[in-house]
């Protein structure tokens, strides 16, 4: 299991986090102790997922939950072979800060999101780096950040 503690504050160490794809609501949801506290809304078309809005409950802002939510959502998009269109400014900024996700945005669409100058990192063997492996059939990701 991936240790995600560096991305979260000390308050988060006791929280049970769950990230779920809720396709009926067209969003990924992040829950703390079973209560949904944020989401990344999307639109899907064959081969493409467009992220349009991300929101975290104000009582959890600054805890790193939005970053974790977007990271997992992008890792799921990668595992499903989806191209990503980051219309949501938070998702776009995440990709801009984490260039290993740039390859998810089609080259011909990067200029629209001001991502055209970035070069994604490589593993050394010519393939782009995938940071988290998620089974393609999985609609739910449980993140263990406890001690």
Q: What is the pLDDT along the chain (147 residues), one digit of tens a residue?
A: 233 434 444 444 567 899 999 999 999 999 999 999 999 999 999 999 999 999 999 999 899 999 999 999 999 999 999 999 999 999 999 999 999 999 999 999 999 999 976 454 544 554 444 334 444 444 555 554 443
Q: Specify the pLDDT at position 37.
A: 97
3-state secondary structure of 48: strand
User: Residue 17 falls within a domain, yes or no?
Assistant: yes
pTM (2 decimals)? 0.73
CATH number at residue 106: 3.40.630.30
User: Residue 21 falls within a domain, yes or no?
Assistant: yes
User: Residue 87 falls within a domain, yes or no?
Assistant: yes
> Which letter, b or e, does each residue of 106-136 get, where b requires 16 or more Cβ atoms within 10 Å of its Cβ?
eeeebeebebeeeeeeeeeeeeeeeeeebee
Reported residue count of the chain is 147
User: Residue 138 falls within a domain, yes or no?
Assistant: no
The count of domains in the chain is: 1
User: Residue 93 falls within a domain, yes or no?
Assistant: yes
- Are 99 and 121 within 8 A, CB to CB? yes
Residue 102 domain boundaries: 5-120
- Are 64 and 83 within 8 A, CB to CB? no
Give the bridge partners for 29, in sequence order: 20, 39
Q: Specify the pLDDT at position 129.
A: 41
User: Residue 20 falls within a domain, yes or no?
Assistant: yes
Distance CA 131, CA 76 (A): 11
Q: Specify the pLDDT at position 2.
A: 33
**CA-atom Rg of the chain in angstroms:** 15
- Give the DSSP letter of residue 122: B
User: Residue 75 falls within a domain, yes or no?
Assistant: yes
Q: Specify the pLDDT at position 140.
A: 56
User: Residue 126 falls within a domain, yes or no?
Assistant: no
């Amino acid at each position: 299991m991936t240790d995600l503690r560096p991305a979260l504050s000390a308050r988060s160490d006791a929280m049970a986090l769950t990230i779920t794809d809720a396709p009926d609501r067209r969003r990924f949801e992040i829950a703390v102790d079973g209560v949904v506290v944020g989401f990344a809304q999307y639109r899907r078309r064959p081969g493409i997922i467009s992220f349009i809005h991300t929101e975290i409950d104000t009582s959890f802002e600054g805890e790193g939950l939005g970053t974790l939510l977007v990271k997992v959502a992008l890792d799921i998009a990668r595992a499903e072979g989806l191209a990503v269109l980051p219309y949501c400014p938070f998702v776009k900024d995440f990709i801009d800060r984490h260039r290993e996700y740039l390859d998810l945005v089609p080259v011909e669409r990067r200029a629209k999101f001001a991502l055209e100058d970035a070069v994604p990192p490589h593993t050394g063997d010519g393939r782009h780096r995938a940071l988290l492996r998620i089974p393609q059939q999985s609609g739910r990701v449980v993140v263990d950040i406890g001690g």
